[in-house]
């Protein structure tokens, strides 16, 4: 069992905990071509003397932790990953002023944002990126389903390679996917949005982010290196921007699970 020296990050006499999670809810629209999350009552107090629910749906709704098994045959299931992996030092980095609809961010974007904030991203850090697009989630102040799912900014292969070189432990983002939306099935499903993005860029998507090199690159390139990620961050994330803190993203211990719902928190000294 690991022993942590977190007193260099926190003054434990004045600690505050921030919830960086979105709710898990049937109100949340599913990712492209995934079924929706559902719940129903299976017992009620009036009939059974107890309330009990049944849930059905994908593991990729609300704030969730993608496991290695999600993109790797023979990868680790989420329940077999050591608990120490999910908690550690890290940075909540604001890149929102650098990105907008369809924008592609790279290692240079992230390094520039870190320098501007006076932060150093260290080996084995947990890195949470704030794009500002959580405001467009169903539970955000400006809900916009198409913008949140299909137009959020995302990285290309350059950022994925940087994560490996930098030795990032795991990542998180306040968007429905850690990948750029047009590096997912959305490129095939919404040709109208591809045309919109290409008009903004002045270039073809196949030139900027050719496949297969960029297809789901944050999954396919990083998961074999055990650099996993959390998607659909939100909550109080905007209250801990550009800070080094203790971060925990704890999925339930799902034996055989390719991913799992989770709660992400940041612990800071005030």
The 10s digit of each residue's pLDDT in 79-117 is: 999 999 999 999 999 999 999 999 999 999 999 999 999
Asked if residues 114 and 121 have their Cβ atoms less than 8 Å apart, the reply is yes
Asked if residues 205 and 187 have their Cβ atoms less than 8 Å apart, the reply is yes
What the block records as the tokens of 239 is 């209250």
What the block records as the tokens of 121 is 């991203």
Computed over every residue of the chain, the mean pLDDT equals 96
List 18's β-bridge partners, or say none: 266
Start-to-end CA distance of the chain, whole Å, equals: 29
- How far lies 265's CA from each of 110, 136, 216, 260, in Å? 22, 21, 26, 16
Q: Which pLDDT belongs to residue 12?
A: 85
Q: Could you tell me if residue 109 is inside a domain?
A: yes
Task: Provide the CATH number for the domain around residue 140.
Answer: 3.50.30.50
- Residue 158 DSSP class: H
What average pLDDT does range 223-245 have in this prediction?
98
Q: Which pLDDT belongs to residue 9?
A: 81
Within 70-156, residue ranges assigned H as helices are 107-117, 145-150
- How far lies 232's CA from each of 40, 41, 82, 94, 131, in Å? 23, 26, 22, 15, 11
Going by pLDDT thresholds of 50, 70 and 90, the confidence category of residue 1 is: low
The domain in which residue 189 lies consists of 10-22+62-269
Q: Could you tell me if residue 39 is inside a domain?
A: no
Q: What is the pLDDT of residues 140-165, one digit of tens each?
A: 999 999 999 999 999 999 999 999 99
Asked if residues 54 and 60 have their Cβ atoms less than 8 Å apart, the reply is no
What average pLDDT does range 10-25 have in this prediction?
94
Q: Could you tell me if residue 28 is inside a domain?
A: no
How many structural domains does the chain have? 1
Q: Could you tell me if residue 33 is inside a domain?
A: no
Q: Could you tell me if residue 48 is inside a domain?
A: no
- State yes or no: pLDDT of 184 exceeds 90: yes
Going by pLDDT thresholds of 50, 70 and 90, the confidence category of residue 6 is: confident
What is the percentage of the chain residues whose pLDDT exceeds 90?
A: 95
Q: Could you tell me if residue 246 is inside a domain?
A: yes
């Amino acid at each position: 069992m690991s022993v942590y020296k977190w007193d260099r990050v926190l003054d434990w006499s004045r600690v505050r905990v921030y919830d960086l999670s979105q709710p898990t809810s049937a109100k949340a629209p599913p990712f492209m071509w995934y079924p929706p999350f559902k719940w129903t009552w299976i017992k009620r107090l009036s009939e059974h003397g107890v309330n009990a629910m049944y849930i059905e749906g994908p593991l990729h709704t609300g704030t969730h932790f993608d496991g290695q098994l999600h993109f790797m045959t023979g990868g680790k299931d989420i329940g077999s990953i050591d608990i120490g992996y999910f908690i550690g030092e890290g940075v909540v980095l604001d890149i929102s002023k650098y990105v907008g609809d369809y924008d592609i961010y790279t290692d240079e974007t992230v390094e520039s944002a870190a320098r501007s904030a006076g932060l150093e991203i260290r080996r084995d850090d947990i890195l949470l990126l704030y794009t500002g697009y959580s405001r467009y989630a169903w539970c955000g102040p400006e809900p916009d389903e198409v913008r949140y799912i299909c137009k959020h900014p995302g990285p290309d292969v350059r950022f994925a390679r940087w994560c490996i070189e930098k030795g990032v432990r795991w990542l998180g983002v306040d968007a429905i996917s850690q990948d750029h939306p047009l590096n997912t099935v959305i490129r095939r499903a919404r040709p109208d949005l591809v045309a919109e993005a290409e008009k903004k860029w002045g270039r073809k998507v196949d030139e900027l982010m050719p496949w297969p090199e960029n297809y789901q690159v944050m999954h396919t390139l990083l998961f074999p290196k055990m650099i996993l990620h959390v998607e659909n961050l939100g909550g109080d994330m905007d209250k801990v921007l550009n800070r080094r803190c203790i971060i925990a993203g704890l999925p339930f211990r799902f034996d055989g699970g390719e991913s799992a719902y989770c709660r992400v928190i940041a612990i800071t000294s005030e």
